[in-house]
Amino acid sequence: MPIKPNALQPLNAAVLSDTLDSLGLMQQAMKPFMRPLDDSLQLIGRARTGLYMPVYAPPAKGENPYDVEIALVDDLAPGEVVVLACDGPTERIAPWGELLATASVARGATGCVTDGLVRDVKQIREMRFPVFCGGIGPLDTKGRARMVDRDVRVMCAGVAVRSGDLVFGDVDGVVVIPQEAEQEVVRLALEKISGENQSRDALQRGEKLADVFRRIGIL
Amino acid sequence: MPIKPNALQPLNAAVLSDTLDSLGLMQQAMKPFMRPLDDSLQLIGRARTGLYMPVYAPPAKGENPYDVEIALVDDLAPGEVVVLACDGPTERIAPWGELLATASVARGATGCVTDGLVRDVKQIREMRFPVFCGGIGPLDTKGRARMVDRDVRVMCAGVAVRSGDLVFGDVDGVVVIPQEAEQEVVRLALEKISGENQSRDALQRGEKLADVFRRIGIL
Amino acid sequence: MPIKPNALQPLNAAVLSDTLDSLGLMQQAMKPFMRPLDDSLQLIGRARTGLYMPVYAPPAKGENPYDVEIALVDDLAPGEVVVLACDGPTERIAPWGELLATASVARGATGCVTDGLVRDVKQIREMRFPVFCGGIGPLDTKGRARMVDRDVRVMCAGVAVRSGDLVFGDVDGVVVIPQEAEQEVVRLALEKISGENQSRDALQRGEKLADVFRRIGIL
Amino acid sequence: MPIKPNALQPLNAAVLSDTLDSLGLMQQAMKPFMRPLDDSLQLIGRARTGLYMPVYAPPAKGENPYDVEIALVDDLAPGEVVVLACDGPTERIAPWGELLATASVARGATGCVTDGLVRDVKQIREMRFPVFCGGIGPLDTKGRARMVDRDVRVMCAGVAVRSGDLVFGDVDGVVVIPQEAEQEVVRLALEKISGENQSRDALQRGEKLADVFRRIGIL
Amino acid sequence: MPIKPNALQPLNAAVLSDTLDSLGLMQQAMKPFMRPLDDSLQLIGRARTGLYMPVYAPPAKGENPYDVEIALVDDLAPGEVVVLACDGPTERIAPWGELLATASVARGATGCVTDGLVRDVKQIREMRFPVFCGGIGPLDTKGRARMVDRDVRVMCAGVAVRSGDLVFGDVDGVVVIPQEAEQEVVRLALEKISGENQSRDALQRGEKLADVFRRIGIL
Amino acid sequence: MPIKPNALQPLNAAVLSDTLDSLGLMQQAMKPFMRPLDDSLQLIGRARTGLYMPVYAPPAKGENPYDVEIALVDDLAPGEVVVLACDGPTERIAPWGELLATASVARGATGCVTDGLVRDVKQIREMRFPVFCGGIGPLDTKGRARMVDRDVRVMCAGVAVRSGDLVFGDVDGVVVIPQEAEQEVVRLALEKISGENQSRDALQRGEKLADVFRRIGIL
């Protein structure tokens, strides 16, 4: 039975990363160039992937350069997170902005993760819609890039993502939990949280780190 | 008749970038390494350019290494924006700081854009003087770089800028509007803003993105 | 007689950098990829260095991969700053996090500087513990890197640091003051501050920059 | 009337670049990461462009991931040069190798230019087929990238290229001559060659560079 | 039964890379910054790994900074290849040079692969000892880096290598064959070679690439 | 008494680098992006420096953009090496080419070192004039950069160079010997060469590296 995304709310990216590491899954944290637009927001949801290619010419007359990305957004279900792979980091394109965010919120989507740039940052922050991105810039994709496929396996900021994978983001970064491992990851991560609480308490009381680590085994 | 800079206040960098794109001017947005010191401030004004070269030795005895940049700042007129080209991004020099900002404010200047670093960030933020820069660092230019020319064509963060060009910056980035195109750009951008408002309203009502885009044609 | 760190409180990174420059010490400011987690905090203290190496395999059974860093933290004295050299900037490791910060605070340490990543950023900010780092990310060092030496000369973000050197950080960046020069640096920096105050006042009154610079000689 | 490519044989990349510069076309030389496999070979021909996108999954069962590139190669006419745009420099893919080169030679093609990698370097050198590339590597495109369009405008190593543009490569690099300007460029370049010969002779006789430049005006 | 390295002599890096890809092993080719000192030499052998860390101080008095690397070289057996992981590409250190090559040849070693730099390039080329490296430079490791471990899992130019893995290099690059897969890889690669020969023959006869690919299925 | 440059002929870049290291001069080898046009040529001579700045506009009417570089070349004395600092590595400019090389040879100059690009590579190789550069490209400096100063301290590929410093280049790279240290450096380097010969002989006889290093102390 798949995990309900809100089971991840007590967790954080660091604990999830450590837990994935402990299972030998060491490539699940996106690279640090990925930053939240609003670092007070937690992003949790199941991925819906979109894959971009670079283009260097305006669209042909009558052609809709946004067709695949419109179809992806209109197909979003509640609790899903849009993951846009642009072979980033990039300086060239901002595939996400206010109108796409507005449409996604209307479908119940819970965030967007892209290794491209994002624009309309002020408005997106006011919406309190969680977005993690590879930078900020005003550049529309038209004539610069195009989403050519969706719901395929992509690499985003160094991590493989498939539609359906759990995505978690907070101020420490973005972590992807492969579907196959999600039950075990979430269970172990919840356990680890309580060990960390004990360590913190002991350290605040002034105990030596060596002693605390020997006893609780968490750093 | 040239545009009055305050005509740009209702606009934003994304709409200006789209409008410039639509006229085939696709190289007008500075690269995303350029960030505002205060992302709540809008920067609008006409460029006054300065061009730096690297140096690797202290200035000769009696030589004033700041002469060209002092002359540029003392020559600023109200509504002008200082644009300092350092072949950035750079780790080596911070050509802008509190004292230059103070002198610029005294002349009525409305901002500074540099692909170099900036220092005295706390004080500049308190002045609410709009600055967009390639990074933050304490390194003075003395013995590291020197402004050797001003009011010449420069490249700053990937965009050609001439003194007199309109410069616009907000949280989404910095856009440069060539003088020749400014009338048309501002007119078209103001039109586009109203289309976006309609799209947003429709999407918030839950309309499908495909339908909204088909009807209004704006994304 | 060594300087007391709190003598540096009236100073800032820009003035210290200029002063070091004036003594021919032009490599003392860390590169601008180093940013504070909380840019309202000043970091002042004496360095305690740790040196990391990359590893590409999990630790052997029974081995404690954190032994050197635990020993460093448990040995901290009040007023010391942990300086962790990871050959950064890096995408691979976050050698600093909440538990190490908690243990350091308990020993009276006054900050951490690392060219690696940092995690548990929310909690560290709540502690108001000054940290300057090369980025943010959730990745534990276990199986990725290991501290192999401490209290040795390291390079951190382009600056040589030895245990005992004074480290100063504020929103403009991190500056390292070699022990040999600290008396002279602090004395000259305090003098320079007052010259800057005069310049600022004159510029705010609308005096020309050229005149102010000619009279006071500070920019 | 279009230029016959063999009219370019007496020319070289440096003279062509200077001539394009003199007409204000300053973005026509590919970036220096582009190097010839055999620097004794001259490449001359008309471009046929191919555009790649990254993929991160194996092709679907029964799908031919090479279909567009096979069609491009089978459609080559004598005197044409394949130009493959991979958003390079890249470490990920080698879109060109021995079998494609063999097929191209059979159609009379005169070279390949790609900002991707190239493989089967030994065999291609033995064929004396001119190839300029962004590097060397064994990685097939299958599962890593896919040519999705051809005969469209592309950017390759910083230069815009359209099918039909003249492409010239020698040990100094690759230059692209837009069709509209080719008559004038070739005429002026041939003229410049003779001025250079005079300068060289004068310098070899020991004349001062200042005098030679004053007289002939070429450097 | 393990493969005898000389069974790989008829192969090449491209065929091995394709074969590894076909088994889902897509991370086995080192990045293209790795180049041979002599591109006419084939490198084949079993890896012996060494792992470097950066240091920023001269060795302590009486300390031998080369102890681990001397031990590795003195322990080499015939048919082994030294693999030195320096977290490259790097500008800082050349861990390999003539004397180490001379000692390795004396032990029967068949090559060196390092993501660091190499020096004494002229002499090593005269020895016809196969070396693939991340660049060329004169900088000794003393005071800059130190080999701290050997015969551990390392990453070298993007590929995981363990002592005992087969390493193959030619002008197209370096490929690592994990021990577990070596029997199957070599068998399949030898088969693929013959298919390529048929394709080449057909293409040279002028057959369309589409037809050849449909019939033989190799590109 | 200054060293005669031809006293350096028996030396090589690796031995000079080690010797400079042994005197604590660890920043004297240029970065490895600097490569010789012809790796069989040794470059030896005394530096004459030129310093470039970027420009982004064509020269004004009647202005000679080459004036400083012409003056430098016409002023060269026998045994001097031109060192051109372009803040490289760069993709933008090739400040050196055949005509400058021809003029330099006529004055008795013995080489050129630049962190910019070089053009007319075929002709320069035929002249057997030693050139070490940051890359190859056809781009003239006119409208892109300008030499604005000469015989000043510059940084070239990471090394400080002043006119008069000894410059040595071979296939392993470029090393700069500060004038103050040249007597001692050359004397010690010549001594080290003989120790290396003994080590090589012993290793070729099959002696263990550990024994050879213990006895002769050279690696």
CB F64 within 8 Å of CB F177 = no
Top residue of A51, A55, A159 to mutate, by most chain D CBs within 10 Å, is: A55
CB C83 within 8 Å of CB C49 = yes
Per-residue pLDDT, E218: 85
Mean pLDDT of chain A: 97
Per-residue pLDDT, B218: 84
pLDDT digit string (tens) for C26-62? 999 999 999 999 999 999 999 999 999 999 999 999 8
Does residue A66 register a pLDDT over 90?
yes
From first to last of its 219 residues, chain B has per-residue pLDDT tens of: 789 998 999 999 999 999 999 999 999 999 999 999 999 999 999 999 999 999 999 999 989 999 999 999 999 999 999 999 999 999 999 999 999 999 999 999 999 999 999 999 999 999 999 999 999 999 999 999 999 999 999 999 999 999 999 999 999 999 999 999 999 999 999 999 989 999 999 999 999 999 999 999 888
pTM across the whole model? 0.98
Q: Which of D56, D148, D155 sits opposite A56 (nearest CB)?
A: D155
Between positions 78 and 117 of D, the ones with CB within 8 A of E are: 91, 94, 97-100, 102-103, 106, 117
Does residue E29 register a pLDDT over 80?
yes
First to last CA, chain B: 31
How many inter-chain contacts (C to E, CB under 8 Å) are there? 41
pLDDT digit string (tens) for F37-86? 999 999 999 999 999 999 999 999 989 999 999 999 999 999 999 999 99
pLDDT digit string (tens) for C105-147? 999 999 999 999 999 999 999 999 999 999 999 999 999 999 9
Provide the H-helix boundaries in chain A.
13-22, 67-74, 98-107, 121-127, 182-204, 209-216
C17 vs B: CB within 8 A: yes
When pLDDT is cut at 50, 70 and 90, the band that residue D8 belongs to is very high
- Pick from A208, A198, A39: nearest CA to C119: A39
If one compares C152 and F6, the residue with the highest pLDDT of the two is C152
When pLDDT is cut at 50, 70 and 90, the band that residue D58 belongs to is very high
Of all residues in chain C, the percent with pLDDT exceeding 70 is 100
Radius of gyration of chain A (CA): 19
pLDDT digit string (tens) for F136-147? 999 999 999 999
Q: Which of C57, C148, C160 sits opposite E152 (nearest CB)?
A: C57
**Cβ <8 Å between C21 and B98:** no
- Residues of F whose CB is below 8 A from E59: none
Q: How many CA atoms lie within 13 A of F3 on its CB side?
A: 25
**Cβ <8 Å between B56 and F87:** no
DSSP string for residues in F40-106: T--EEEEEEEEEEEE--SPPPTT--TTHHHHHHHHT--TTEEEEEE-SSS-SS---B-HHHHHHHHH
CA distance F159 to B176: 37
Per-residue pLDDT, A77: 98
Per-residue pLDDT, C172: 98
Give the tokens for residue A93.
Answer: 């394109």
D170 vs F: CB within 8 A: yes
Q: How far is CA E188 from CA E15, E58, E194, E195, F177, in A?
A: 9, 50, 10, 11, 55
Of all residues in chain A, the percent with pLDDT exceeding 70 is 100
Closest chain D residue to A145, measured at CA: D53
pLDDT digit string (tens) for C149-165? 999 999 999 999 999 99
If one compares F207 and D2, the residue with the highest pLDDT of the two is F207
CA distance E109 to F213: 19
- Residues of B whose CB is below 8 A from A34: none
When pLDDT is cut at 50, 70 and 90, the band that residue F182 belongs to is very high
Contact present, B and A (at least 3 Cβ pairs less than 8 Å): yes
CA torsion B115-B119-B123-B126 (nearest 10°) is 30
ipTM: 0.96
Of all residues in chain C, the percent with pLDDT exceeding 90 is 95
Per-residue pLDDT, F219: 84
Per-residue pLDDT, C1: 74
Q: How far is CA D90 from CA B75, D85, D145, in A?
A: 47, 11, 11
CB E79 within 8 Å of CB E45 = yes
Per-residue pLDDT, A218: 85
Give the tokens for residue B121.
Answer: 């960030």
| Maximum mean pLDDT: which of A36-40, E58-62, F63-67 | A36-40
Per-residue pLDDT, A219: 84
Per-residue pLDDT, E181: 97
Mean pLDDT of chain F: 97
Does residue E1 register a pLDDT over 80?
no
First to last CA, chain F: 31
E152 vs C: CB within 8 A: yes
| Shortest CA gap D57–chain A (Å) | 6
Give the tokens for residue D45.
Answer: 């021909």
Per-residue pLDDT, F62: 87
Q: Which of E64, E70, E119 sits opposite F14 (nearest CB)?
A: E119
**Cβ <8 Å between C57 and E153:** yes
Contact present, D and B (at least 3 Cβ pairs less than 8 Å): no
Per-residue pLDDT, A202: 96
Contacts of D86 (CB under 8 A, 6+ apart): D52, D93, D95, D114, D115, D116, D134, D145
B56 vs F: CB within 8 A: yes
Per-residue pLDDT, A1: 75
